[in-house]
């Protein structure tokens, strides 16, 4: 498993500079409308459904096409959807035979560190973290060597440590 830096990419703009798959969805500026979220967080009751997704292979991120109540359509960052409506996100990937199958991505972003833990590996004590990955439920956490997470996702470690105080 390749670990990438924890990033929180802004959703792509409606025009230009787009890369990755669109799953047959045509992106036109006339079809993009701002949802009426009144400055609040994303909630399940404001979303009709996830329609498709785009893959940015350069940084191994995904944006999801969201149909909002009221008819607006936007592309939202997978990290934000994972944080705010995880059940909808996990159900979407499940319908597509899993995130790995649907995206083909082999590099992952840390969503959060669950716990710090030392384990014996090859008769040596190794420091590591239980990691939840963006786009995957907490039932699919993995144990990762601390050096990998420190190198690629130091912000996730800082967030974990600040929550421990």
At 34-91, the pLDDT tens digits run: 334 444 467 888 999 999 999 999 999 999 999 999 999 999 999 999 999 999 999 9
Q: For strands 2-4 and 107-121, give the pairing.
A: parallel
Q: Which tokens belong to 141?
A: 């956490």
- Say what the pLDDT of residue 113 is: 98
| Confidence check: pLDDT of 31 > 70 | no
At 119-163, the pLDDT tens digits run: 898 999 999 999 999 999 999 999 999 999 999 999 999 999 999
**2-103 against 108-164: fold identical:** yes
Domain boundaries, the chain: 2-103, 108-164
Rounded Cα distance, 5 and 155, in Å: 8
Class of domain 2-103: mainly beta
Helix, strand, coil fractions of the chain, as percent rounded to 5: 30, 35, 35
Q: Which CATH number is correct for 108-164, 2.40.50.140, 3.30.1600.10, 3.40.50.720, 2.40.50.40? A: 2.40.50.40
pTM: 0.73
Could you tell me where the beta strands, DSSP code E, fall in 69-135?
A: 73-77, 107-121, 124-133
Report yes or no: 87 and 39 within 8 Å, Cβ to Cβ.
Answer: no
CB burial class (10 A; 0-12, 13-18, 19+) of residue 93? buried
């Amino acid at each position: 498993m390749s670990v990438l830096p924890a990033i929180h990419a802004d959703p792509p703009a409606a025009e230009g500079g787009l890369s990755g798959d669109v799953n047959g969805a045509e992106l036109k500026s006339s079809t993009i409308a701002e949802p009426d979220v009144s400055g609040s967080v994303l909630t399940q009751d404001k979303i009709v459904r996830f329609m498709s997704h785009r893959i940015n292979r350069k940084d191994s991120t995904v944006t999801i096409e969201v149909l909002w109540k009221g008819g607006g359509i936007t592309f939202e960052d997978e990290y934000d959807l994972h944080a705010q409506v995880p059940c909808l996100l996990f159900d979407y990937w499940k319908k597509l035979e899993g995130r790995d199958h649907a995206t083909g991505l082999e590099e992952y972003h840390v969503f959060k560190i669950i716990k710090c833990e030392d384990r014996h590996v090859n008769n040596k004590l190794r420091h590591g973290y239980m990691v939840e990955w963006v786009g995957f439920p907490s039932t699919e956490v993995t144990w990762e060597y601390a050096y990998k997470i420190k190198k690629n996702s130091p912000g996730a470690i800082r967030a974990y440590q600040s929550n421990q105080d």
